[in-house]
Every structure is written in structure tokens, then in C-alpha cells.
Amino acid sequence: MTSSAAPFNILDALAAWARRFEKTLDSMLTPEADVPPRLAEAMRYAVLDGGKRIRPFIVTRGCELCGGTFEQAAPAAVALECVHAFSLVHDDLPAMDNDDLRRGRPTCHKAFGEAIAILAGDGLLALAFEILATRIPDPARAVQAVAELARGTGWAGMIAGQTNDMLGEGQTPDLALTRQIHLQKTARLFEAAGRLGAICAGAHTPLGDALADYGRHLGRAFQIADDLLDVTGTADQMGKAVAKDADAGKQTYPAAVGVTASREAAQEAALSSVRALDVFGPSADDLRALARFVVERRK
């Protein structure tokens, strides 16, 4: 006897959720009269481009798992996506990773020029904090959210990771350094996603810790999978250039330990992320499915 329910598909769930989220994103990225149109255009180009939206999904679902609502989580979800988009715009610059293509479209500096791209990235970072401070009604939660996002982004977080990523180019592949880069460059913002969900719900610390652990391990899994896709994917699948890491002499898991051990490490990290959700029971099944998707994705 088979169940009459269709099997749960995380991509369908993400897509359904994203229809709602994209409207929120669009609305919070609507400029007022004083914003230069060209700047607003570049900022919106960088954010409203059909990314996978994994980080804001974690924020809003994490908030709901803690008893909060989508609406309560929306400012933090949008702010986090603004920070993510800012990091892509600046990382793609000629002085950084020098990428021409992102999600199948010209990168921001290719479409708008370098000066506007630098300013658009800066503008998205500032906007993220403006959104947290002006759209989260409870001051204590707002200030916690700012602290969490600023630390996750800053000189000991994502920006540290990008720095170590740049400085590690051309050096002998090293697993410890690669792990450190992954933790800072990617896992730290995923961790913030989990923690922000709990903060927006006003949840107790243990729930925030569980979601932060989930996010951190998921972020590690995501970045190892990303390293692998640069080796095994095609540009068509990915919507961006591939095999660039090896050319640039980047610190990556495949370079440090090979493809097979990298696949195992990604699976292990995904498993750790799933385990962190135990406290939430079956209601967190979509976040568990997300962990599987992250390591099995083809783009």
C-alpha cells in the first residue's frame, strides 16, 4: 500500500516560500526619492536575481520553529540576503575574484561599471543594518540582530574568510586553513541565519544555539559542495565560470584531500547539521531536507 501524499520535495517548498519572500525583498528594496536611480538599480540587480535564497529560508523557518512568524523574521531575512549579495558583488570585482558571470548574467561591475558596483555593495551592507534597526519593532531583539549580523559579516566573520581566501591563493593546499576559510567565509553567515531566526522569535538561548549549530554545519557542507561543483560541474549548470579555483590556486577541499574525501566531509557536515535539529522534532523536516539538497545539488 502506497501513501496518497506526494513525496516531500524541498525544491518545491523553497519555490513556494520564495514567491512570498521575493515580494518582501522587493518591497524592502524599494528606494525613496533621495536614492540615485542608478545606484538603486545596481543594488536591486545584485539582490533580485533569483538566487537560491537558502540563508533567508533558514531565518524565517528558524523563527517559525521557535514560535515566531514569517513577518517577524522578514527584516532579518532580507538584511541577511543583502549582506550575501553585497559579498558577491565585491568578491566578483576585478581586484578580487575577477568574475564576469554570476547566475548566468553579467556580474554587477560588468553591468554597471566598477565604481557603481563598489558603491552598490557598500549600499547593500548599510541597508542591511538600516532594515534591522528600523523594521524590527522590539529594540532588544533589533540590537541583538545587528550585533549578530555585524559579527557574522565583519573582520572575524565573512570578511575575514574572504581575506584568508585571497591570501591563501597559490599556497600549498592545507586542510586546516581550508576549514578555517570555510568556517569564516560561508559558515559564519549560515550560523547567523539560524541565530537570527531565534532572535526574531524572542526564543530562549538553547533554541538559538541549536539553529546556529544547524546553520554552521550546513554552511560548511554548502561550501565543500561548492568547491566540488567547481571541479565537477559545468559552466552551463552553474551559471558562472568553473574550474576557476584550481586555476587561481585557491584553498579548497578537493585540492586539500581529493574529491572522494571531500564528498564524505560534505555528507558528514550535512549530518551534523541535521543532528542539531533534534530538539525541534518532525516540524524541522524541511530544514533536514535542505541539508540533503545542499550536498546533492548540481548547481
Q: Which residues bind its own copies (CB under 8 A)?
A: 31-32, 34-36, 38-40, 43, 86, 90, 93, 95-96, 113-116, 118-119, 121-123, 125-127, 129-130, 132-134, 139-140, 142-144, 146-147, 149-151, 153-157, 159-160, 162-164, 166-167, 184
- In the complex with its own copies, the residue whose CB is nearer, 160 or 221, is 160
Which SS3 state, helix, strand or coil, does residue 259 take? helix
CB of 216 to its own copies, least distance (A): 14
CB of 280 to its own copies, least distance (A): 28
- In the complex with its own copies, the residue whose CB is nearer, 119 or 266, is 119
- In the complex with its own copies, the residue whose CB is nearer, 8 or 155, is 155
3 state SS for 78-129: HHHHHHHHHHHHHHCCCCCCCCCEECCEECHHHHHCHHHHHHHHHHHHHHHH
- In the complex with its own copies, the residue whose CB is nearer, 29 or 284, is 29
> What is the residue whose three cell numbers read 539582490?
47
CB of 142 to its own copies, least distance (A): 5
What is the C-alpha to C-alpha distance for residues 124 and 117, in angstroms, rounded to an integer?
10
What is the gyration radius of the CA atoms in the chain, in angstroms? 19
Asked if 212 contacts 277 with a C-beta cutoff of 8 angstroms, the reply is no
> What is the residue whose three cell numbers read 560561508?
186
Asked if 235 contacts 243 with a C-beta cutoff of 8 angstroms, the reply is no
- In the complex with its own copies, the residue whose CB is nearer, 198 or 287, is 198
Half-sphere exposure of 146 (CA within 13 A, CB side): 16
Residue 105's beta-bridge partner residues?
102
- In the complex with its own copies, the residue whose CB is nearer, 76 or 146, is 146
Asked if 109 contacts 85 with a C-beta cutoff of 8 angstroms, the reply is no
Asked if 73 contacts 196 with a C-beta cutoff of 8 angstroms, the reply is yes
CB of 75 to its own copies, least distance (A): 12
Instruction: Supply φ then ψ for residue 102, to 5 degrees.
Output: -145, 120
Q: Which residues of 13-27 are buried (b: 16+ CB within 10 A; e: fewer)?
A: bbeebbeebeebbee
- In the complex with its own copies, the residue whose CB is nearer, 133 or 271, is 133
Residues contacting residue 154 through CB under 8 Å, at least 6 positions apart? 160
- In the complex with its own copies, the residue whose CB is nearer, 135 or 275, is 135
